Amino acid sequence: MHRASEDHRSVAFPHLVLPLLRDTARLLGAEPDRVALFMASGTGGWEVALTNTLPPGAQVLLPCAGHFANLWGDSARRLGFAVETVPEMEWGDAPSPERIASILAADTHHRFAAILVVHNETSTGVTADLPAIRAAIDKAGHPALLMIDGVSSIGSLEYRHDDWRVDVAITGSQKGLMLPAGLAIVAFSERALAAANTVTGPRAYFDLRPMLAQNADGYFPYTPSIPMLYGLRESVGMLLDEGLDQVAQRHARLARGVRAAVAAWRLPICCRNAASTSNTVTTIMTPAGIDARKIVSHAFTKYDLSLGGGLGPLAGKAFRIGHMGWLNEGMLFGALGLTAMALTDCGVPASAADACAAAAAVWHGDAS
């Protein structure tokens, strides 16, 4: 009778939780006993990562050229950490492993306790090269923890937590996992976990210790959202069934088609280096004098199409096409065709035909 509110303490509950943690860990390439689920948006995951592993006031290095890196930095500052950004990065740049290596090499006193990297910067459509960054840290022989935000990458792009020796990874339920927001998934390394047991800063809701202790038995320290757990089981299962390599390849193939279409419109993308283009989101710059907000709003109102708006300094100057989750070529033909129509309506002549031609050339080898 009172099941909805009570059964997260029932004897049956671990039968849901324990396999779910195992599969979620498999999705991230981590061990299950180092993965925790918090009831929060991905933003809450940032706080889990920082407060559980860093001493109060610790200094962190942030390659920052995007809205979500900015926000993560803000969170860190508001939590009392000292944030130093990698200099001379511009929006559209990926974090440079070389520059990170040289900054860390110069940090002989190991002031940096962690380096925070947004794996896939949703605002600019840029993907960081995590293995190269890991190698840069190793090369510098620096003990900083590598923390990554995988909100718009994990479940869509290749991600190998343990193989890549990431120390803390965060993702949310609402992007690659195709659920509503509400779950922050956080994976740790053994080293990060050890830190969680020694750091002394204030933390309560996001305290990892009771969470891992209870998760180990299949429970939660406070009422979890049971529908979200069932949803996560479903979406993790779908991704594992498709195969993580296949999922990554599908996103790569679809994204190449989207970029070809954008190229056909002769609109620049925000990402400044072809090797760093994101396979989950493409950020497109609008010509001077055209308010990108109008395009987004027009597409939504007239064509029932949800484009992402430009974020932060890109507000009004760029819009975004998302291409993660259960997409196929058909849905993207539609998105590209409608985007072309919305662009043209807003004063940016763009051909639906050229876009579809370019995408079809990529997806199907059609002569373009």
Site for a copy of itself in 272-311 (CB under 8 A): 297, 300-301, 303-309
Nearer residue to a copy of itself within complex by CB, 62 or 356:
356
Q: How far is the CB of 256 from a copy of itself (least distance, A)?
A: 15
Residues 6+ apart with CB under 8 A from 216: 33
Q: Kindly list the distances between the CA atom of residue 314 and the CA atoms of 195, 310, 318, in Å, as whole numbers in the listed order.
A: 37, 5, 6
Nearer residue to a copy of itself within complex by CB, 195 or 321:
321
Interface map 35-64 toward a copy of itself (x if CB under 8 A): ----xxxxxx-xx-----------------
Q: Kindly list the distances between the CA atom of residue 78 and the CA atoms of 57, 72, 183, 259, 266, in Å, as whole numbers in the listed order.
A: 10, 10, 22, 37, 41
Residue 268 interacting with a copy of itself (CB under 8 A): no
Q: Are strands 112-118 and 59-62 parallel, antiparallel or unpaired?
A: parallel
331, HSE (Cβ side, Cα atoms, 13 Å): 13
Nearer residue to a copy of itself within complex by CB, 61 or 299:
299
Nearer residue to a copy of itself within complex by CB, 235 or 286:
235
Q: How far is the CB of 259 from a copy of itself (least distance, A)?
A: 16
| Total of chain residues touching a copy of itself, rule CB under 8 A | 89
- Which of positions 202-231 make contact with a copy of itself (CB under 8 A)? 202-207, 221-228
Nearer residue to a copy of itself within complex by CB, 46 or 188:
46
Interface map 144-183 toward a copy of itself (x if CB under 8 A): ----------------------------x-xx--x-xxx-
- Which of positions 328-357 make contact with a copy of itself (CB under 8 A)? 328-338, 340-341, 344, 351-357
Q: How many CB atoms lie within 10 A of CB 261?
A: 32
